[in-house]
Amino acid sequence: MGRIIVVEDNIIYSDFVCRLLESKGYPSVSTSTCNGARKLFAKMREDDIILADLRLNDGDGISLLEELRKQGRNNPYIVMTDYDEVPTAVRSMKQGAEDYIPKKLIEANLFPLLKTLRKRMERHDTPIHERQSTAFREIDRKIRLVAPTNMSVLILGESGTGKEHIAEKIHTMSKRSAGPFVAVDCGLLSKELAASSLFGHEKGAFTGAESKKQGFWEEAAGGTLFLDEIGNLPPEVQQMLLRALEAKRYRPTGGSKDKRADVRIIAATNEDLQAAIAEKHFRQDLFHRIKEYTLNIPPLRECREDIMPLADFFLKLSNEELDRQVKGFDAEARKQLLAYAWGGNVRELKRVVRMAVLHTEGDTVMADTLEFDEMPMADDASLALNDMEKKQIIHALEQAKGNRKLAAALLGIGRTTLYNNCLLYTSPSPRDCS
């Protein structure tokens, strides 16, 4: 994760913003001058984000933005403003700013924006491993089936199973692929600002609304709006969303006229929406509207054949990120990875592999470098592991066309170990391993 570069000449406010960022897990660095900002910009990474005051003692934030864009630097740039500076801040967006945030509303507005930017940058910059388990091949089949339609899709699955990746894949394979893909985490929308965040607001709609602002719905026009954790939407916003879907019309907060925007909805949740309906927390009519097509994403523990390919993929990414040369996992590490329950799913696997690479001193990840959140072995781990090892051996031998040395190399184990495992399992036979 890159840094947030804070450019603010009010030292007290700058310190407040940096402490706020750090409390949410965003590393930050600050400067109070344009010259100081230029020095930081010269060394910044592509994943750094700039949060700059509009007015500075030795210049202004818009001039800094113009300089960056002339240099070909496209780092996300957010402008902080006082209320009387909002019209100028709006003009800054024409120069390439992502958005502007009134200083008095920074706590409510900053983090949803940062999360959206981070996700967008990750989508653009992070390679994707396409899973090949039986379950995910079926998911891919369903994606290819529904993607070309305009049907609303509800994606169900535990946290960390990759629901946003599935949503973006649907968008990419749809007729809307040339349009925007806008991802919104509904859990980060405050109750007070959820409606204006989704549907925009007019000037004077509420305290602090000093100018007109478009919402995510309008931003997604012609494309796809992904609403993650949709169960967190307040009831009144659920009603607005239902109307927008049914009538193809919406009304910005404080507006007097309806607006139109052609938007496809993909929603996701790890909650039991049926239970939420029974408890009057979620509208039944909205539920049926968003679930024209449903995808159930299985947890990683039910797709164990995906574990080691994903682990190898994350090892490669971690090597690049951490400047390491780790080649693979030893036999015991592989066993523990395969046997673990993975309550945090793919997200947890990525974290475990990344930390293991960081702690590995040689060229092989050892079992004692794996930092699991829970006990490493599930109750039925031995049976699951044996079955998994058997499948992996068969697959490796098929890839190696029976060459034991090559199959062992693919598995990251010695030829003797491979042969002994062949003896242990009834298939493949020792003859297949010769």
Last-in-domain residue among 264, 298, 332: 298
Same domain (yes/no): 166, 97: no
Torsion angles phi and psi, residue 294, rounded to 5? -120, 135
How far apart CA 119 and CA 162 sit, in angstroms, is 12
Start-to-end CA distance of the chain, whole Å, equals 47
Q: CB-side exposure of 139: number of CA atoms within 13 Å?
A: 25
Asked if 267 and 362 sit in the same domain, the reply is no
- Based on the fold, state whether residues 234 and 323 are members of the same structural domain: no
User: Per residue in 246-271, pLDDT tens?
Assistant: 888 888 887 778 888 889 999 999 99
- 47-56, 67-76, 136-145 — which is least confidently predicted? 67-76
The candidate with the shortest Cα–Cα distance to 179, out of 143, 124, 146, 219, is 219
* Domain C-terminal end among 114, 138, 164: 114
Residues 292, 309, single domain; the answer is no
Same domain, 73 and 191: no
Range of the domain at 256: 127-298
Confidence of residue 313 (pLDDT cuts 50, 70, 90): very high
Mean pLDDT, the chain, integer: 83
Q: Is 33 within a domain?
A: yes
Q: What is the pLDDT of residues 153-193, one digit of tens each?
A: 999 999 989 899 999 999 989 999 888 899 998 888 877 77
**Same domain, yes or no, for 199 and 167?**
yes
| Alpha carbon distance 49, 103 (integer Å) | 17
Contacts of 324 (CB under 8 A, 6+ apart): 318, 357, 358, 360
Cα separation, 77 vs 15, in Å, equals 19
**How does pLDDT run across 341-379, given as a tens digit for each residue?**
999 999 999 999 999 999 999 999 999 999 887 765 544
Contact indicator for 393, 425 with CB cutoff of 8 Å:
yes
Q: Work out the percent of the chain whose per-residue pLDDT is above 70.
A: 80
Q: Does residue 15 sit in the same domain as residue 142?
A: no
Out of 114, 146, 174, pick the residue that ends a domain.
Answer: 114
Give me the helices (H) in 32-172, please.
Answer: 34-43, 61-70, 86-93, 106-125, 134-146, 163-172
Cα-flanking dihedrals φ and ψ of residue 239, to 5°?
A: -65, -45
Residues 312, 290, single domain; the answer is: no
- 160 and 25 share one domain: no
Of the pLDDT bands very low, low, confident and very high (cuts 50, 70, 90), residue 17 is: very high
Residue 147 shares a structural domain with residue 250: yes
pTM over 0.85: no
Q: How many domains does the chain have?
A: 3
